[in-house]
Structure 1
């Protein structure tokens, strides 16, 4: 399996790609070519072109959740997928309207828009999207230090109600030596995601985690998250997108973390 970072907040020195506060990964596993999130704008396509990645060959498009820093690029997909239409996989709540105060933070493309041209699979349950990769669906609360936190509001019926981002999901790759976890923002809690990935796959060894961990403050949750990482002896950590410098520094003090930036490529077996 090969993963390429198409969009992240960070870009490497002397590597001239485009960055934005968002996330998108391109993943190849066996015969499947998977786009995981689309960033905030068309930057994912610009970077793919610079990296010589042909997005028109994508077979699956998986969305971690419905916030616009992960779904904003959906506005562009009709111009990319002209020869073949990838299946789109997401949680059923992904495309509901979302706002924070008066700011619209949800997907500008609706479920109804996508269903016209795409096979749209909306699932709370885990589902295989390639030979070795599973979309985890809805993540349960499995640890006591990562309760669901409100992020703005969502329109579940006629009115807006507090949004606890139940649509937040992730991917897990089953390698020869353990599992590798790929997250978008981890609103569900990065440790909850890791624990659920172990349950779904039946594999207890976590080799690596890449993505947004949604950690910002130096607080008890961060301390317990570091303890969780250490107890699971995770070999490599790649926090990016929605992880503050302070959180990265505190993790790195106890567990070496890897720098992530647009253009990073990882290969897992």
Structure 2
């Protein structure tokens, strides 16, 4: 598998020509297929793809991890550049999504007009689905472990009906190659350990070659604060260390402070995945 970060919050120091945004988009080449996992919030992933030798028009399928703008609103540009790929979302009730803290409120939800642009291009799933051979979208994510503390700022609906987001719009992507699994987390609002545990339960005899994506260990993104305490982040690292995972590639909503704490626990198993970086897994 070849994995390329088309968009992340940061970029390689050697690639100042690439755009960055607070979002995520990953290009995957595996088993003769090209997959796009998340699309950021705008056109940056398309512009960066051209600079990184990735042809958006050739992508076979797109998977959207959840309905926050920084992972899904770039879909409109994907539809402009690609005429064939189905775009997969988790099936859920339409609602509003917001970030709220200290009286401040920001809309962070999907632009619903996206679905009106080319409705035949969208597929909505509510159970584990093999979207291509050995490529699975998983909607039933376990809840054995605590969700990230940073979730406390995230809500659904508005006004009197406002309530904490339950993340019933989040999914997990698992790619099963001949020598093991690669697990894609998006933002891991359901909890990265819950996602890894789900993969282990679904494929109990499989090695996990890599876990890729954001782990949502950031608290307030503007300050890059950590969600929870240092000891809690260390405990997450130790829990991940106990699983049969070869490598973890992360960025975006993990936050660099939390990354540093995890790195002290996981060492070389954990790597940063900024915009422009390609790795072979």
Pairs aligned (count): 263
TM-score by length of structure 1 reads: 0.88
Q: Which whole-Å CA distance do the structure 1 matches of 2:233 and 2:171 have between them?
A: 20
Structure 2 equivalent of residue 234 of structure 1: 245
Q: Which whole-Å CA distance do the structure 1 matches of 2:256 and 2:195 have between them?
A: 22
Tell me which moved more, 189-198 or 95-104. 95-104
Structure 2 equivalent of residue 106 of structure 1: 109
Shift of 1:233: 4.2
Q: How does 1:25-44 map to 2 (within 5 A)?
A: 25-44=26-45
Cα distance 1:185–1:201, how it changes in 2: closer, same or farther (>3 A)?
A: same
Indicate which of 209, 212, 215 corresponds to 1:210: 212
TM-score by length of structure 2 reads: 0.84
Indicate which of 134, 137, 149 corresponds to 1:135: 137
Structure 2 equivalent of residue 224 of structure 1: 235
Q: Which whole-Å CA distance do the structure 2 matches of 1:133 and 1:31 have between them?
A: 12
Structure 1 equivalent of residue 178 of structure 2: 176
CA contact (8 A) 1:150 1:165 kept: no
CA contact (8 A) 1:213 1:239 kept: yes
Tell me which moved more, 185-194 or 98-107. 98-107
Shift >6 Å, 4+ stretches? none
Instruction: Note the alpha carbon deviations across 1:30-68, whole angstroms, 9 max, x for none.
Output: 243211111011100000111121111222111000000
Instruction: Note the alpha carbon deviations across 1:228-253, whole angstroms, 9 max, x for none.
Output: 11111422121210112221111111
Tell me which moved more, 256-265 or 20-29. 256-265
Instruction: Note the alpha carbon deviations across 1:160-196, whole angstroms, 9 max, x for none.
Output: 4432222122211223333221121000000000011
Q: Which whole-Å CA distance do the structure 2 matches of 1:95 and 1:121 have between them?
A: 15
Cα distance 1:161–1:114, how it changes in 2: closer, same or farther (>3 A)?
A: farther
Higher helix share: 2
| Structure 1 spans left out of the alignment, 5+ residues | none
Shift of 1:224: 2.4
SS in 2 for 1:3: strand
SS in 2 for 1:96: coil
| Structure 2 spans left out of the alignment, 5+ residues | 219-225
CA contact (8 A) 1:151 1:165 kept: no
Instruction: Say whether residues 1:266 and 2:279 are aligned partners.
Output: yes
CA contact (8 A) 2:5 2:275 kept: yes
Structure 1 equivalent of residue 6 of structure 2: 6
Instruction: Note the alpha carbon deviations across 1:180-233, whole angstroms, 9 max, x for none.
Output: 211210000000000111122233532221110111323453232112111114
CA contact (8 A) 1:39 1:69 kept: yes
Structure 1 equivalent of residue 66 of structure 2: 65
SS in 2 for 1:22: coil
Q: Which whole-Å CA distance do the structure 2 matches of 1:160 and 1:77 have between them?
A: 31
